[in-house]
A and B are shown apart, each in its own frame.
Chain A
Amino acid sequence: MATETLHAIDTHAHSHDEHEHHELGFVQKYIFSEDHKTIAKQYLISGIIWAFFGGAMSIIFRLQLGFPNMDLTWLKPVLGQWIVEGKLEKEFYLALVTMHGTIMVFFVLTAGLSGTFSNFLIPLQIGARDMASGFINMLSYWFFFVASVIMFASLFIETGPASGGWVIYPPLSALPQAMPGSGLGMTLWLSSMALFIVSQLMGGINYICTIINLRTRGMSFTKLPLTIWAFFFTAILGLLSFPVLLSAALLLIFDRSFGTSFYLSEIYIGGEALPNVGGSAILYQHLFWFLGHPEVYIVLLPALGITSEIIATNSRKPIFGYRAMIGSLMGITLLAFIVWAHHMFVTGMNPFLGSVFMFLTLIIAVPSAVKAFNYITTLWRGNIIFTPAMLFSIGLVSLFISGGLTGIILGNSALDINLHDTYFVVAHFHLVMGAASFFGLMAGVYHWFPKMFGRIMNKTAGYVHFWFTFVGVYCVFFPMHYIGLAGFPRRYYSFTALGNGRMEAFVDMNMFISIAAIITFTAQAIFTVNFIYSIFKGKRAPQNPWSSNTLEWTTPVVPGHGNWEGEIPAVYRWPYDYSKPGSTTDFIPQNVPYSATLESNFPEENEEIAKEKEIEGLLDIQNSSYNH
C-alpha cells in the first residue's frame, strides 16, 4: 500500500513539475534559476569573461617583460594613470600580476571549471533530476557573482587593486602604508574572496550531497564515471580547505582594520614603529597554503576527471585501470592536505618540518604518475577519434606530465633553495596546473557543448584553436624554465638589478615568450567566436553525438527541467564498456542491462543479471526521494 501511495504522490509531483516548468518566467529561467544546467552555463560564461580579463592582464605584463623599452602610450585610453610617460607604473605591474593570479586560479579555474562541470554533469551523469538543493546552488552562483563584481570594481579604484601577489602575504598586504594596493584594493580583495569562499562551500556541500544521495537506482559508487569521482574529491577538498582560507582572510581583515596582531610583529615602516608584537607572518603562510595547495588539486582534479571520460570515449576503449584511477584520485586528495609547506621551504620554517614535507610531497608524484601511465595505456590499441575535446585531453596529459615532472625538482627542498620564487616555479605551475586545467576546461566545453546548447561547435575551428593553443602554451612556458634556472626572480618589473649581463642574455627569450603569449591569447578569439556562433547557429546535435556510455546522453537533446522526461533510467554496468568483445556496437550505455547483451557478457557479468530485478525494484524509493 505504501508503494502505491508513493506512486500516486510521484505522478502528482510529476504533473506538478511540468506545470511549473511552463510557468517559469524569464528571470526564474535564466537569471535566478535553480536548474543546475542553467547555473552551470552561468558559471561557464562568467568563467570565460573572467578568463578574457585574466589573460589580457598577462599580455600587458608580458609586454613589459618582453619589450621593456616599448612605448605603451597607446594603452593609455584603457589604463589611464597607470601608464606614466609611456611606461607601465611599477605598482600597477604588481597589481596586474596579482589580479592575473587571483582571477585565473579562483574565478576561472575554480568557479569556471568546477562550477560549470560539477553543476552540469553531476545530476546528468548520476541520474538525478537536479542538485540536492537547487536553491543553495543558485545562491552559490550569486555569491560568486557578487564576489566577481567586487573584485572587478577593485580594478577601477584610484589606489589600484590588490598588488601583493595572489598569495597576499602579510605584512605587505596588511599595511596600507607598504604599497597603495594594500589599501582599499586589498579590502575589496578580501571581501570578494570571503564571498567567493561562501559560494564554494555552498557549491561543495551540494555536490557531495547530490553524489551521495541522489544516484539513480543501480548507480553504485563503483559504477560512477571518473568525472563524478573527480568532482566528488574536488568538493571534499574544497569543503575542508576553503574554510581555512576564510579564517586566514578574516584574521587578516582583523589585523588591517581592528588593530589585532595575528600576523604582525616588530614592524618599522614609513618612519614609525608599529605597536604590534607577537604575531607571526609565517602563520598566515601556513593557513594560506593549507588551502593553497589543495587548491591546486581543486583546479586540476576536475580537469583530470573530464579527460578520463573524453579519452575513453574517443579511444573507443575502456579507461585503463578504473579502480587505480579512483585510487590515485583518492591518494592525491589525501596527500593534498599534508604537503602544503613545500611552498615554504625557505620562509624560515623549521628545517625539520621541511624534511617531513619533502617526503610527503614526493609521495604525491606516485599517484600522479599512475594517472599519466593509465591515460597513455588507454590510448594504446584504441581506435582514436580526434574531436577537439580529444585533442585538448591529449594536450592536457602532455602538459600534466611536462609540468608535473619539474615538481619532482621543486619538491626537493635542497634544490628548491635556489629555484624558489624564480621563473622555474612559474613555468612549473603554469604547465601543470594552469594550462593543464585550462585544457581540461576547453575539452569539457567542446565535449558537452551539445548537451548544454543542443548544437555542436565547429570542429575545424576547434582543431585550429587547439593547435595554436597547444603549440603556443609550450612556446610560452617551456623557455620559462630556462629563465628560472638562470636565477630570474618572479614578480620583477624589470631585470636590471641582476647585473653581470644576465638580463641581456635572456632579452631574446623574454621577447619570444611574450610574442608566443600574444599569439596564444589572440588564438582564443577563435574559440570565443566559435562558442558564441555555435550557441545560436551551430549544427544541431544528435542525442548522443560521441557515442558515449554515460547517462547524460540518454536525456533529450536539450534536457528540460528535471532532465529526463519519463523515469530516470536505471544503471546496470560501469560507464566504460567500449568496444566490448562480442558486442555489435562499439559502446554499451550504462542503462543497458546485462540481460540485453548476452553475446558480450563476461561470465561474472551474467551473474549480475539476477540483480537487475532488484535494481528495478528501487524505482519507487528513488521517486519518493523527489517528493518532499
Chain B
Amino acid sequence: MTYLIGLLSVVFLALAIMIVNKSMALSKGIKGVEQDPDSSVDSANNMNAIGFLVFLVLGSIGATWSFLHSRPDLLPVAASDHGLITDRMFWISMGVITFAFFVTNALLFTFPFLYRYRKGRVAAFYPVNHKLELIWTVIPAVVMAVLVFSGWRTWRDITSQAPDNAVVIELTGHQFGWYVRYSGNDDQKLGNHNYKLINETNSLGMDFTDEHCFDDFTANEMHLPKGVPVLLKINAQDVLHSVYLPYQRVKMDAVPGMPTKFWFVPNKTTDEMRYITGNPEFNFKLNCTEVCGRGHFGMAITVFVDEPEEYAAWCKEQKPFLTQNPDYLAKVPEKLKSKARKYIEVAAPAASDSTQASGATPAAATSLR
C-alpha cells in the first residue's frame, strides 16, 4: 500500500509541479514577453510538449514497476495441460504487444515534443507515402496472421472432442451454487435429468426411469483426478452462470436449456499446489463468471485435484443418490427395479426395510413429491 500511495503521490506531485511551472510561465507571458496576437499559441505550449515527454518517462517507469510488482500474482500457476500452452501463448502475444505499446507511445509522445510550435518553422507538407502505408499495413497483418494461426490451432485442440477415457462430471449452476454429479462407480455414465423433476431432495431432477442414474452420486465439492482427461458437462437451472476454474484456465458458460461442455487435463494436485505456493491452506476454486444476481460473487465451491488412486478411493466412498434417498425407488419403472434395488440393499442394509415399504406402497412415495 505504501508503495502505491508513494507512486500515486509522485505522479500527482509531478503534475502539480508542471501546473505551477505552467502558470509561472503564463504570468511571465502576461508581463511582457511578446506574443503574436494573431497566433493561437500561448506560452504554455512548450510546457504541454514537455508534459508529454514527462508522461512518457514517468509512465514507462510506472508501467514497468507496477508490472514487476504484481508479476507474481498474474496468471496464477497453471494447473492443466492446455493452461500451460495458453499461458505460453499469452506471454508471447504480450511480448509482441508490449513492444508495439512502447514503440508507438514513445513516438506519439516524442513527436509532440520535437515538433512543438516554433515561430517561423514550417510544417512539412507530407500528405501520403504509399510505401510506408504498405509497410505498416503488411507488418501488422503478418504478425496478426501468425498469432491467429497459433491461436486457432490451440483453440481447435482445446475444443476438440473429449477422449473416450475422459472422466465425466456434471456441473449444474443455480442461484447461488453449484451441484456436482458424478457418473458413479459402475456404469461411468451420467443418467438423464429433467428440469420438471426437480424438487428439494432431487435438486438435479434426476430421471430414475434411466438406469444410468442409479449409481450417480452428488457432492458439495468437486474432486478431479490428476493426469486424466476430465469432461465437464455443464448445465444451468435458472439463469446463466459460468464455470470458472482459474488455475485450470477453464471457463464455460452454463446455459439453461442448452448443455455445454469443456474438457481438460488437470496436471497438478491440490497437494502439489500447496507445496508450490507454500500455502498449506491452498485450495482450487470454482467461481461463477456470468452475472447471475445477488449472490453471484460468492457462488464458489472448492475443487480438489487428487492422484488417480486417491480419486478412485474417494469415489468408492461416495454413496449414490438412490442409496441416500431410497424413496426414489418408487420412481423406477418395474422392469428396472431389480437393478435399482441393488444400490439400496448393497450400500444401506439398514434402510432396506423402508425401501421395501415404499416400494410396496407407491401412494406413500408419491406423497413425498
Contacts and interface: CB of A to CB of B under 8 A. Distances in A.
A459 B285 contact: no
Given A315-B115, A405-B101, A485-B74, A414 B238 contact: no
Contacts of B294: 90-91, 94, 179
A58 B67 CA distance: 25
B110 to A, nearest CB: 9
A421 interface: yes
Given A179-B294, A391-B48, A467-B51, A282 B258 contact: yes
Contact of B70 (A280, A482, A500): A482
Interface string A353-393: 01100110011011001101111110111111111000100
A580 B123 CA distance: 9
Nearest to A345: B155
A321 B290 CA distance: 43
A324 interface: yes
Interface string A474-514: 11001100100111011111111111111001111101100
Contacts of A365: 140, 144
B244 interface: yes
Interface string A338-363: 00000000111001001100110011
B155 A358 contact: yes
A456 B154 CA distance: 55
B89 A414 contact: yes
Contacts of B285: 497-500
Interface stretch (A186-194, A262-270, A619-627): A262-270
Given A164-B291, A268-B198, A348 B144 contact: no
B76 A468 contact: no
A268 B235 CA distance: 12
Contacts of A509: 4, 70
A527 B129 CA distance: 39
B115 A383 contact: yes
B166 interface: no
A15 to B, nearest CB: 37
Interface in B223-247: 234, 237-240, 242, 244, 246
Contact of A500 (B104, B107, B148, B279): B279
A436 B15 CA distance: 21
A257 to B, nearest CB: 18
B244 A489 contact: yes
Interface residues of A, number: 131
Nearest to B85: A414
Interface in A448-478: 459-460, 463-464, 467-468, 470-471, 474-475, 478
Nearest to A544: B40
Given A386-B44, A500-B279, A401 B105 contact: yes
Interface in B15-57: 15, 18-19, 22-23, 26, 40-42, 44-45, 47-49, 51-52, 55
A494 B250 contact: no
B260 interface: yes
Given A384-B116, A509-B70, A179 B293 contact: yes
Nearest to A272: B198
B155 A346 contact: no
Interface in A227-285: 264-269, 273, 277-282
A379 B107 CA distance: 9
Contact of B282 (A267, A500, A511): A500
A381 B128 CA distance: 14
Contact of B151 (A415, A482, A508, A579): A415
A524 interface: no
Interface stretch (A36-44, A108-116, A135-143, A168-176): A168-176
B363 interface: no
Contacts of A316: 123
Contacts of A519: 12
Contact of B112 (A346, A384, A546, A547): A384
A346 B115 contact: no
A169 B239 CA distance: 9
Contacts of A394: 52, 108-109, 112
Given A268-B205, A280-B257, A509-B4, A379 B97 contact: no
A385 B127 contact: no
A486 B76 contact: yes
Interface string B176-216: 00000000000000000001101000000100000000000
B48 to A, nearest CB: 4
Given A267-B257, A376-B108, A317 B144 contact: no
B333 interface: no
Nearest to A505: B73
Nearest to B159: A351
B251 A346 contact: yes
A308 interface: no
A543 interface: no
Contact of A385 (B40, B132, B295): B40
Contact of B115 (A268, A384, A464, A486): A384
Interface size class of B (residues with CB under 8 A): 35 or more
Interface centre among A321, A372, A408 (most CB of B within 10 A): A408
Contacts of A355: 152, 155-156
A169 B256 CA distance: 12
A73 interface: no
A432 to B, nearest CB: 12
Contact of B101 (A370, A402, A414, A468): A402
A268 B195 contact: yes
Given A471-B15, A511-B1, A512-B4, A408 B195 contact: no
A382 B293 contact: no
A412 to B, nearest CB: 4
A398 B242 contact: no
Nearest to A279: B257
A281 B298 contact: no
Contact of A499 (B147, B195, B283): B283
Contact of A579 (B109, B111, B123, B251): B123
B347 to A, nearest CB: 28
Contact of A266 (B41, B97, B195, B291): B195
B325 interface: no
A171 B238 contact: yes
A415 B112 CA distance: 36
A441 B106 CA distance: 24
Interface string A510-529: 01100110010000000000
B249 A417 contact: yes
A370 B133 contact: yes
Contacts of B258: 265, 280-282, 348
Most-contacted residue by chain B among A318, A384, A501 (CB, 10 A): A384
Contacts of B127: 318-322, 576
Interface of A: 90-91, 94, 164-165, 169, 171-172, 175, 178-179, 264-269, 273, 277-282, 315-324, 346-348, 351, 354-355, 358-359, 362-363, 365-366, 369-370, 372-377, 379-387, 391, 394, 397-398, 401-402, 405-406, 408-409, 412-415, 417-418, 420-422, 459-460, 463-464, 467-468, 470-471, 474-475, 478-479, 482, 485-487, 489-502, 505-509, 511-512, 515-516, 519, 545-547, 576, 578-581, 586
Interface of B: 1, 3-5, 7-8, 11-12, 15, 18-19, 22-23, 26, 40-42, 44-45, 47-49, 51-52, 55, 59, 62-63, 66-67, 70, 73-76, 83, 85-86, 89-90, 93-94, 96-97, 100-101, 104-105, 107-109, 111-112, 115-118, 121-129, 132-133, 136-137, 140-141, 144, 147-148, 151-152, 154-156, 158-159, 174-175, 195-196, 198, 205, 234, 237-240, 242, 244, 246, 249-253, 255-258, 260, 277, 279, 281-283, 285, 287-300, 302
14 contacts: A169-B291, A267-B256, A273-B198, A317-B123, A324-B133, A346-B253, A381-B126, A383-B122, A409-B90, A460-B22, A486-B70, A490-B289, A512-B7, A579-B123
